[in-house]
Every structure is written in structure tokens, then in C-alpha cells.
Amino acid sequence: MPPRKQNPERRWSMYRQLHDDVSRLLEEEGLYFTFNKKDTDEGCHRSYDTNITGRFICRNKKCGSPGWSSKMVAITIRMYPGARYNARVYHQSCKSCNCLSRPLLNDTYAERIAYRIKKWNGIEVETPHYSGNSELPHNEDLCEGCKAGHCKRRNNGFIGYY
């Protein structure tokens, strides 16, 4: 029997289950979008890299890490014809054991996506106040967004959030 082929670890995720949160924020401005399930740049007519905040839990049972919070979770927001969008959220690796981890997200996910879609649709929106930069240095080697060229903090250079 041939050896089983292992699936490569996912370096990003899409959070379709958070679409209702995004949708509620868009509906405030009369925008009605659907989530594009297909994770591709093909057909995408707008895309924007930004960052959100989140919490990571190391999946390695042998690792003693309690997990970590990040103010620099890289995402790529994409808009498609027909009022469709999606967002690719990049994973990070544990500093203790290098195990890849998928983030647990908070409200910044829906807020950032809704903000960007509103801007793309010509709606005047006030740039939200961001409550602070991380005091810790950003480790590019642990950030899948940096590796893919989609992190706003790569090379420790803060570029902006919205």
C-alpha cells in the first residue's frame, strides 16, 4: 500500500461564518453583499491588504505556550463583480514550537471588511481610531501574511490599518 499523502498545512483561512456580522454593517449604508466562497484572485476586481486583531492558541499538545494575542493579523479583502466579497486571513506560527495556528477573531474582522467595501463603493466613512500599536516587535518569520507579501507590518514598517 502506498504511503498516505499528507495535506499541506493551511497558511490562511476564510471565515464565511462571520458574514452576517459584515452584512449587518454594510446594510447600514444600503449595501448588500454575499460572501464569495471561492478562494481565488481570479475575477477579483479590487483587493486590499490590511490587519486585524485576534488571538492564537497553539495546537501542539506538547507545547507549553498559553497562546498569544496579535494586533497584526494580516488579511486580504477582495471584491468581485455581482456584489460579492471574501477575505483571506493569514495564520501565525507559535514562537515556542513553530506550530501553525489559525486565529480566533473579534469585531475588527467585520469592521475592517465593511469599512473597505464602503470606501470601494464611494461611501464617505470616517477612518476609525485604532487603539494602539503593539509594543512587541513583529516577527516576520512567524507571520504567514509576511511570507505571502500581504502583511502591512513586514520589515517592521507600520503602513496603516484601513
pLDDT in tens, 83-95: 999 999 999 999 9
* pLDDT for the residue numbered 153: 74
C-alpha cell at 80: 468581485
Number of C-beta neighbours around residue 156 at 10 A: 9
Comparing 142 with 1, the larger pLDDT belongs to: 142
C-alpha cell at 139: 516577527
Tell whether the model's pLDDT for residue 147 goes beyond 70: yes
What burial letters (b/e) apply to 13-32, b meaning 16+ CB within 10 Å?
ebbeebbebbbebbeeeebe
Specify the 3-state DSSP secondary structure of 147.
Answer: helix
Mean pLDDT of the chain: 89
pTM score: 0.88
Give the integer Cα–Cα distance in Å for 161 and 159.
7
Q: Which of 45, 24, 150 is nearest to 88 (CA)?
A: 150
C-alpha cell at 75: 488579511
- The DSSP letter of residue 12 is E
